[in-house]
Chains A and B, each alone.
Chain A
Amino acid sequence: MRPPDPASFALLTAHWGFVPNLFRAQVETAWLVDAEAALVEALLFRPSALSRAQKESLLLGRAAARGNRYWYTLHRGVLPLMGRAGQPDFREPVAALDATLVLALGDFLCTLASGIAPQEDFPAVQPESGELPVIDPPAAPAPSTDPEAYSDFRDHYGFVPRVYRRQAARPDALEAEARFLEALMVEGPELGRRRKELILLAVAARARNEYLCSLQAQELAVMGVPVETSDRITLDPEAAGLPESERALLAFVRAPSAGAAAGLQAAGFSHAQVMEALAAAALGDFLASLAAGLAVEPDFAVRVSFPPPAENNLHPGEADSRLKEQAPESDPDGELVDAAQRGDLAAFEQLVVRHGRRVYRTLVGILGDAEEARDLMQDTFLKAFQHLGGFERRSKFSTWLLSIASRTGIQHLRERRSDESLDSAGDDEAFRPRQVRSWIDDPEQAFARAEMRALVEKELRRLPAKYRVAVMLRDIEQLSTEEAAGALELGVPALKARLLRGRLMLREALASHFAGGAA
């Protein structure tokens, strides 16, 4: 067994001030520590469009969104030492690409921490529900010359997959990724290449990432695994007819935990094999995160599609996925979208009329101002029309449209004022109800309808934007929790926390009008 490379520990110490326990816990596979540290160096420590504080802040958000206590604690611990983060302008393609890479690194690191469960480096802090910034997929300018790493990817895949081509503006990142790919997938001594490619496929399926699933199915086909087998693994690895050991391996990488790692060792895998499997899972999450963040078109035909989760299904799983040949998820707007994609403006106008109120309320929810919302409604639909050709029906049209509306509104909010934001600060602080007198039985009778509406609108305007928009989408527009979360690009727990806070704040505000007797 090789001793840990002091160089990578020194690198980590130089940039974090200490060697995080996550890496110390892997000293028995020192080559992995070196490979991981090199990736961290390229994407986090190396100067780029975003400052170190901004990157740490993104990683904190990612750890919060993943509910990863280890990394949440670490980034919370180091952020105060990094100076002021400031708000980057993610409309700049370089900043957007940088941020997408950092968020993918966050996924990579969180997956490692899930499987290792190291002791926190600072007093543990429970993650607060997080919100990540809205980052439009950056445009990919065609490079004047191919980045050197392209030849490495051609060696590895036989071509340069689009997930790498989209990063042409960061040749240094591509080189780091190519080195990691080589170190883990080719040179990694513990598990065969085929098993590691299977792991990437299983992780891609768990992440519901059609891009990476189709790429992995192709990789495996080259290695002699029939695409039908890859389809079955994508749909359900347990029912894919794999040998027991591979089923155990894929079960571990789909839900890594320290307990599952110990179970895998009990099933006969060595500690080093488990660590290598975990690193492959982390790589899978990294690539899936990049493919999603960069909105990469698949290199190959998608064979298994992942429709958006069914309404009220809080635990979307592989049961939702289906072979592409089967009936696609029906979208009530499907026919109009087809026509609009062919340039039929009358069809697009119908979509505007059908969804205008929702878009408007999303924008009022974010901005609190009816007039601004009307103006931005036009911008939202113009953007939707411009990008309609790229709408691939991975979600319903309405969800896609509302996410454009919320991005447009958030962007405008940022430009307009500095005191309102949709960030996550304070979401998790307990809200203590102050008004505890009961209300009259039928408060609706206390006011005429128009008065009641004016009252509710007045109190809604007073709410902070992040709570207001949650209430408007859920309680007025009557979206499901998942739809509202999807429109705001939040996780379901974050949406629920904001909705509850908004409802309770409104309750306090309305109490003076409806309170009847003592509690």
Chain B
Amino acid sequence: MNHISCQDFMAEIGNYLDGDLAAEVRTRLEQHLAHCKTCTVVCDTARKTVRIVTDSDSFDLTGEALGSIAGQIVRRIKSSPADG
């Protein structure tokens, strides 16, 4: 089986993180990881990054803010001409 390069690995890392790969490609990437410490670190820290970003719940709107905005939207609809 052909060995893949770090560049090949980086080209597929997005699909690897999302589990969006055929089994055969996944196996080859994992064979690369088994002997490449740099790609292992990049992959591990990229996975942590995704987890941190997802868990951060960044740019959330509070329920109160959302309700207030929804009320404003409905008031603007009511005050605008019917044909928009």
Contact = CB atoms under 8 A, between A and B. Distances in A.
Interface of A: 312, 314, 345, 348-349, 352-353, 356-357, 360-361, 364, 370, 373-374, 377-378, 381-382, 385-386, 430-431, 433, 435-439, 443-444, 452-453, 456-457, 460, 471-472, 475-476, 478, 481, 496-497, 499-500, 503-504, 506-507, 510-511, 514, 519
A281 B10 CA distance: 37
A349 B56 contact: no
Given A353-B67, A503-B14, A519-B38, A510 B80 contact: no
A301 B70 CA distance: 36
Nearest to B66: A356
A464 B41 CA distance: 25
Given A382-B80, A475-B54, A481-B20, 9 more contacts: A352-B70, A356-B66, A370-B59, A436-B42, A453-B56, A471-B53, A476-B54, A476-B59, A497-B14
Contacts of A443: 48, 52
Interface in B35-49: 37-38, 41-42, 44-46, 48-49
Contact of A437 (B10, B17, B41, B58): B41
Contact of A386 (B42, B78, B84): B84
Contacts of B71: 349
B2 interface: no
Max chain B C-beta neighbours (<10 A), residue from A364, A386, A433, A496: A433
Contacts of B13: 500
A486 to B, nearest CB: 17
A511 B49 CA distance: 9
B44 A438 contact: yes
B76 A382 contact: yes
Contact of A357 (B44, B48, B51, B60): B60
Contact of A378 (B15, B52, B72): B72
A471 B71 CA distance: 29
B41 A438 contact: yes
B77 A345 contact: yes
The 6 nearest A-B residue pairs measured at CB: A500-B14, A386-B84, A456-B56, A352-B70, A507-B49, A356-B66
Contacts of A511: 45
A439 B84 CA distance: 54
B4 interface: no
A456 B71 CA distance: 30
Given A377-B69, A476-B53, A507-B46, A457 B59 contact: yes
Q: Binding site of A, secondary structure by majority: helix, strand, loop or mixed?
A: helix
Interface of B: 7, 10, 13-15, 17-18, 20, 37-38, 41-42, 44-46, 48-61, 65-67, 69-74, 76-78, 80, 84
B55 A345 contact: no
A476 B58 contact: yes
A460 B76 contact: no
A352 B65 CA distance: 12
A439 B41 CA distance: 8
Nearest to A498: B14
A364 B20 CA distance: 27
Contact of B41 (A436, A452, A510): A436
B66 A353 contact: yes
Contacts of A453: 56-58
16 contacts: A352-B74, A357-B60, A374-B65, A382-B80, A435-B45, A444-B51, A452-B55, A456-B52, A475-B50, A478-B54, A481-B18, A481-B20, A507-B42, A507-B49, A510-B52, A519-B41
Nearest to A499: B14
Contact of A349 (B7, B17, B53, B70): B70
Given A385-B84, A506-B49, A496 B73 contact: no
Q: Which of A312, A356, A370 has the most CB of B within 10 A?
A: A356
Contacts of B42: 433, 436, 507
Contacts of B50: 475, 503
B77 A364 contact: no
A302 B51 CA distance: 44
A93 B38 CA distance: 52
A54 B66 CA distance: 41
Contacts of B67: 353
Contact of B59 (A314, A360, A439): A360
B79 to A, nearest CB: 11
Contacts of B56: 452-453, 456-457, 476
